[in-house]
Amino acid sequence: MTRVTPWRELRIAPDGERIAALEAGRERAASPLAAIERWNIDALLKREVTAEAPATFDEMLPLWVGKAALRPAAVARIEAYRGFLGEYGLAERFTALLDEAARDRGALLECDLGPAHDFLLLDMHLERLPDERPLLIVEAGGGYGPLAELVIRHGRRRCCLVLADAIAESVFYSWAYLRARLPEARIGAAFLGERLRPEAQDAFVVPAWELPETVPAMDGFVNIASMQEMPDEAVAAMLVQVKGGPPTK
């Protein structure tokens, strides 16, 4: 299992210049994938966000998961998830993931339930596929990377998860979070000038508008409850990307 930095020890520093460069790249991009999501970070945080005073990880967290999701998980909610996953024989693994999250944070939060649920359903399907090479899975709108973290730590099938987002802060912080949280994992990023190499990377972060040239084909696509927030043209462009077919060996 990949070594994990406990939440209380996480130190995720903002990089205002890099975030500003990503935002400038989005503004220049002609691709409809640049409009997957558009957040007014200044309005959401109720302050002016600049390269000198960028949004911090702690400020962004409620925007990614919702303020209510940072509260302790209710017993009824836990049991609802467990009951559903039990129909697929996943209740025991779900309980183990929740126990681990509770020990790590000091309390089980609502935002721990969804990623555990999503990961287990994804993993259930992926582990049935041939293990000839790492699978290339794209997640659109993955926030700061909780699903990718679980795939890297607990996935039963070799994968490289590509995180594609149109929010500059999400692009930067998903890379920064995964690097800080999983210091032994192999995390690449297009904004560092790196190339996608599924056989040598556990995850790769790419701005959504660069997805077509970075990932011309994929084995699978994941989107968790954000397509309904996308403009129709962005959804159509993403579906065209998904239909590109599996990557060649």
The single-letter code of the amino acid at 14 is P
The reported pLDDT for the residue numbered 27 is 93
pTM reported for the whole predicted model: 0.93
Block mean pLDDT (10 aa), the chain, length 249? 89 96 94 85 96 97 95 97 98 98 96 97 92 92 94 95 95 98 97 96 96 89 81 79 62
The reported pLDDT for the residue numbered 103 is 96
- Report the alpha-carbon distance of residue 144 to residue 153 in Å, rounded: 16
On whether the CB atoms of residues 44 and 63 are closer than 8 A, the answer is yes
Which of 145, 146, 177, 149 is closest to 164 using CA atoms? 145
Domains along the chain?
11-242 (3.40.50)
